[in-house]
């Protein structure tokens, strides 16, 4: 089968070269019609070539690739757990604060009292040369608590710890037919073969500078930890949110006219999503889209947004959980207010390289001029779409105010 695909690829490549030659001749002859026709065929051939290449790559993704990816994921989770045990100790928290005050980084450690910090880096599979020490678990816990004040969209999607800067995950396609009935001693057909595709990830670095008063550095450890937690929490959640929303907004939006919201949402839940995806779907709306949905009522004049009695403060729309983010974070588009519907854990994955790193200096940047210390926090992660069919993007015209109908993000 793969040989047939490769022969097809060679044939398509040859045809593409011929059309490019024809385009060159048409350009020399100043024949615009012939040139456009040849380039149109080149574009069609490019699409076919991409399809064949994707199919060849899918066939080359073997079950061994799946096992490798699973083993890599397990190694990443095990390394994270080992490092977490070290980072949860009081000894680690004290050493971390001491390192910040002493402006010690992994590349200039010369004292045994920072050995516990280096052990955590070693357990996580990182030498820390290009970054700093991992933040303590106690600080990480406070970051999570602060994140929940402003919704952390990373909690709505799938997350995975990885130990390498790049790699891939193998996804198989669902079978389309059942087994074939054969007669006694009859030949068994090969009518439906497994197919695989790779989803690559490449971890990138996201950083920020945290200015720290030297007076605060002389204060107790609790004050220092609280200050750093507040800063890093806000920045970390914004970073993750923007990456998640970028993947969601890459979906092709479907405009929904005012008063057509209920029908559109039902169509997505009933037909637009696979039944398994629909059962685990959520609704993610900005404030304008939420307000639009909140105005909708049934025949008994009851709001279609209903509280979930099993979870205080939680709400559901058409029996699916609804999450609301600010218009400042997720702005309205020209065609309407954004509403995403789907199982976001199936739709995308955040690949976390490791916990956040932190290093400090009192001689770099503006620290020397202001008698302060500058801290640098580094996150390493990537976000990839895993299943584009697991989420849909609606734009609700009914969510726009009258003065917004001619503006927006476009």
168-172 mean pLDDT: 83
112-135 mean pLDDT: 75
Percent of the chain with pLDDT over 70: 85
Quick: pLDDT tens for 299-318: 777 788 888 777 656 688 88
Residue 137 sits in a domain whose CATH number is 3.90.1690
Q: Is the pLDDT of residue 364 over 60?
A: yes
CA 67 to chain centre: 23
Q: Alpha-carbon torsion 94, 95, 99, 100, what sign?
A: negative
Stretch (H or E) spanning 188: none
**Domain-embedded: residue 181:** no
Indicate whether 39 and 114 sit together in one domain: no
User: Among 42, 60, 78, which residue terminates a domain?
Assistant: 60
Indicate whether 36 and 132 sit together in one domain: no
73-102 mean pLDDT: 80
Q: Is the pLDDT of residue 98 over 50?
A: yes
How many C-beta neighbours within 10 Å does residue 325 have? Answer: 19
pLDDT at 55: 75
Number of structural domains the chain divides into? 2
CA 123 to chain centre: 25
Question: What does 291-307 look like in DSSP terms, one character per residue?
Answer: HHHHT-B-TTS-BSEEE
**Domain-embedded: residue 105:** yes
Quick: pLDDT tens for 321-351: 999 999 999 999 999 999 999 999 999 999 9
pLDDT at 211: 83
Kindly tell me the burial class for residue 83, based on how many C-beta atoms sit within 10 Å of its own C-beta (0-12, 13-18, 19 or more). buried
265-275 mean pLDDT: 95
- Highest-confidence segment of 3-7, 105-109, 180-184, 250-254: 250-254
Domain span at 265? 61-170+191-410
| Residue that wins the pLDDT comparison between 87 and 270 | 270
Given a contact cutoff of 8 angstroms between Cβ atoms, the answer to whether 282 and 322 are in contact is: yes
pTM of the full structure: 0.71
| Residue that wins the pLDDT comparison between 123 and 280 | 280
β-bridge mates for residue 333, sequence order: 336
Indicate whether 51 and 138 sit together in one domain: no
Indicate whether 344 and 213 sit together in one domain: yes
Indicate whether 273 and 315 sit together in one domain: yes
**Domain-embedded: residue 84:** yes
Residue 75 tokens read as: 């190694």
CA distances from 28 to 24, 25, 32, 221 (A): 6, 5, 10, 75
* Residue 171 pLDDT grade (very low, low, confident, very high; cuts 50, 70, 90): confident
Indicate whether 409 and 324 sit together in one domain: yes
Indicate whether 47 and 15 sit together in one domain: yes
DSSP 132: -
Which has the minimum average pLDDT: 88-92, 127-131, 227-231, 272-276?
127-131
Q: Is the pLDDT of residue 82 over 60?
A: yes
CA distances from 5 to 10, 50, 111, 371 (A): 9, 12, 61, 66
pLDDT at 343: 96
Indicate whether 26 and 65 sit together in one domain: no
Average pLDDT, the chain: 83
Given a contact cutoff of 8 angstroms between Cβ atoms, the answer to whether 200 and 69 are in contact is: no
Quick: pLDDT tens for 140-160: 666 666 666 568 899 999 999
Kindly tell me the burial class for residue 283, based on how many C-beta atoms sit within 10 Å of its own C-beta (0-12, 13-18, 19 or more). buried
The label of the residue with tokens 């699409």 reads: 47
The count of C-alpha atoms lying within 13 angstroms of the C-alpha of 138, restricted to the half-sphere facing its C-beta, is 15
pLDDT at 53: 82
How far is 113 from 116, CA to CA, in rounded Å?
7
Indicate whether 314 and 303 sit together in one domain: yes
């Amino acid at each position: 089968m793969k040989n047939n695909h490769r022969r097809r690829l060679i044939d398509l490549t040859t045809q593409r070269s011929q059309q490019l030659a024809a385009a060159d001749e048409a350009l020399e002859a100043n024949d615009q019609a012939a040139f456009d026709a040849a380039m149109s065929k080149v574009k069609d051939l490019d699409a076919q070539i991409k399809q064949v290449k994707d199919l060849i790559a899918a066939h080359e993704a073997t079950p061994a690739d799946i096992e490798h990816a699973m083993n890599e994921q397990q190694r990443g989770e095990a390394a994270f757990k080992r490092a977490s045990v070290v980072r949860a100790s009081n000894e680690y928290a004290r050493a971390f604060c001491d390192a910040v005050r002493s402006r010690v980084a992994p590349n200039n450690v010369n004292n045994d009292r920072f050995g516990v910090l280096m052990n955590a880096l070693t357990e996580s599979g990182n030498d820390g040369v290009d970054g700093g020490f991992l933040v303590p678990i106690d600080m990480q816990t406070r970051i999570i608590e602060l994140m929940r004040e402003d919704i952390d969209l990373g909690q709505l999607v799938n997350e995975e710890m990885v130990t390498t800067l790049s790699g891939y995950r193998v996804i198989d396609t669902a079978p389309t037919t059942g087994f074939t009935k054969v007669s006694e001693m009859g030949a068994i057909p090969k009518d439906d073969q497994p197919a695989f595709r790779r989803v690559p990830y490449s971890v990138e670095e996201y950083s920020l500078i945290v200015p720290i008063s030297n007076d605060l550095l002389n204060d107790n450890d609790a004050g220092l930890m609280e200050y750093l937690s507040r800063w890093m929490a806000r920045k970390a959640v914004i970073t993750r949110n923007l990456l998640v929303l970028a993947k969601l907004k890459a979906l092709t939006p479907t405009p929904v006219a005012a008063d057509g919201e209920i029908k559109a949402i039902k169509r997505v839940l009933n037909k637009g999503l696979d039944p398994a995806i629909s059962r685990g779907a959520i609704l993610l709306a900005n404030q304008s889209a939420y307000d639009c949905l909140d105005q909708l009522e049934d025949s008994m004049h009851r709001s279609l947004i209903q509280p979930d009695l099993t979870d205080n403060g939680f709400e559901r729309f058409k029996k699916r959980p609804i999450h609301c983010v600010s218009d400042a974070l997720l702005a309205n588009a020209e065609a309407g207010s954004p509403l995403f519907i789907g199982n976001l854990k199936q739709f995308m994955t955040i690949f976390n390289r490791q916990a956040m790193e932190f290093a400090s200096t009192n001689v770099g940047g503006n620290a020397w001029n202001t008698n302060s210390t500058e801290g640098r926090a580094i996150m390493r992660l990537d976000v990839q779409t895993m299943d584009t069919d697991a989420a849909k993007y609606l734009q609700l015209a009914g969510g726009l105010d009258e003065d917004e109908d001619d503006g927006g993000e476009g």
